[in-house]
Amino acid sequence: MNKFLTTAFLLMTFYSVSAQEKRVLTLDEAVKLGIENSKSLKIDQAKIEESTANLLEAKNRQLPELKVSGSYLYLPMKPNIDLKIPGLSGAAGPEVSQVLFGSANLSVPIYAGGRIKYGIQSAQYLVEAARLSSENDKNAIAYNISQAYNNLFKANEVVKLLKENLASSQKRDQSFIKLENNGVIARNDRLKAQLQTSNIELQLMEAQNNYSIANINMDLLLGLPDNTVIEVDSNYIGEDDLGKPDDYYLNLARENRKDIQALDYQRKAAALGTKAAKAENLPSLALTGGYVAADIPKFLTITNAVNFGVGISYNLSNIWKKNSSLMQSKAREQELAATNDLLNDNITLEVKRDYQNDLYAHKKIDVYQRALEQAEENYRITLNKYNNGLETITNLLDADTAKITANVNVVTSKADAALAHKKLLQTTGIINQ
């Protein structure tokens, strides 16, 4: 029975591993894939299409309007017809049982106070604003994917380091067992070493769990099946150029931030909205034309009744009614102006903050690198003293733990520095360039 359960377990493990798909991805490939499959960007695309439809609607207002109508009426009862034409008054009217009527009306706008022109320009600005907002979201998505990729990279590197240290610790345990059996070391020292091995094993289990969670998060962000195992690029950490002052990145942000550009187009659209609202108080002028045809059997037939002229329309109630549309549009302009000032302040703060964080993250690498060199040298000296009977097993294990921690700190600090630079690029609006 136990053999059967063991075999079944091994088969289930085999099928589970074989069902997982492995995929090697660089950061750039991950960002590209994430943008292609982003659900947020699909919503943005729908907003762009909606704005484009509004633009088409605004353009349609400058085109001629042609309406055709026709009617057929059946009269079940004989109508009373009294002709008032001189000489025919009082004569018996014809028997009318049906009426046919048709008309065509054409209207070509000539002048509408600028409402049509301003509406088209405003709609064009709003289309561009929607497109730029989508580009801004792409920058945010690129950073989110970079952050997830960074977490996956760190988890993977920590797993590799702990596996190496666990193998070394297990090898040391085997040596200590032989030394204990030969009476060279005390049993207590061997147990302390094995406790150290157990602690490393627990750290490894936690790191593997973190790696699995980070991998699932990446699968979801990239639109991949949730059983896809992503292998990160070992060359993820590179040299970042921070030889320029923070004002350089601040100017980059002002030139490249899509949210600033989108807000600028929204302000232009709002200004045109104010002009269009003012035009509500002006009359509209249109060229009109039409054709009418009617047929009342045995009584009347009308054909070739063509007409054309000029029509003017003016809402007299504008004289005593306040233009609420104008008030709303001016308030919208004020709101966007204040939003623009606030956005510029926030961008200044974000760029300078992320620049300082980037500097800080790179300085930490140097500190952790020196700490690693010190930890390795300390472990070498402590091990040499222990082998010569001049140091305790406790101090040796402490030195080993410090060396492991220093190794992990160096790897994670390099990854964090790479992410800090990505954050600065996202803040300046050039992360996707």
In a domain, 16, yes or no: no
Distance (Å, rounded) from C-alpha 410 to C-alpha 399?
17
Q: What's the pLDDT tens digit per position in 306-315?
A: 888 888 888 8
In a domain, 84, yes or no: no
Domain that holds residue 388: 24-75+96-314+321-428
Work out the average pLDDT over 218-245: 83
Identify the band that residue 92 occupies on the pLDDT scale cut at 50, 70 and 90.
low
Identify the band that residue 3 occupies on the pLDDT scale cut at 50, 70 and 90.
very low
Q: What's the pLDDT tens digit per position in 411-420?
A: 999 999 999 9
In a domain, 404, yes or no: yes
In a domain, 82, yes or no: no
- Classified as helix, coil or strand, 235 is coil
Q: What's the pLDDT tens digit per position in 330-340?
A: 999 999 999 99
Q: What's the pLDDT tens digit per position in 22-79?
A: 888 888 999 999 999 988 899 999 999 999 999 999 999 888 888 999 998 888 877 7
Number of domains in the chain: 1
The answer to whether the pTM exceeds 0.75 is yes
β pairing state of 21-25 and 228-232: parallel
The interaxial angle of helices 393-428 and 246-256, nearest 10 deg, is: 50
In a domain, 17, yes or no: no
CATH number at residue 198: 1.20.1600.10
Work out the average pLDDT over 238-250: 80
In a domain, 159, yes or no: yes
Q: What's the pLDDT tens digit per position in 379-394?
A: 999 989 988 888 888 8
Q: What 8-state DSSP symbol labels residue 22?
A: E
In a domain, 170, yes or no: yes
pLDDT at position 7 is 46
In a domain, 69, yes or no: yes
pLDDT at position 2 is 42
**Closest C-alpha to 123, from 265, 309, 285:** 265
With beta carbons less than 8 A apart as the criterion, state whether 408 and 161 touch. Answer: yes
Task: Kindly report the average pLDDT of the chain as a whole number.
Answer: 87
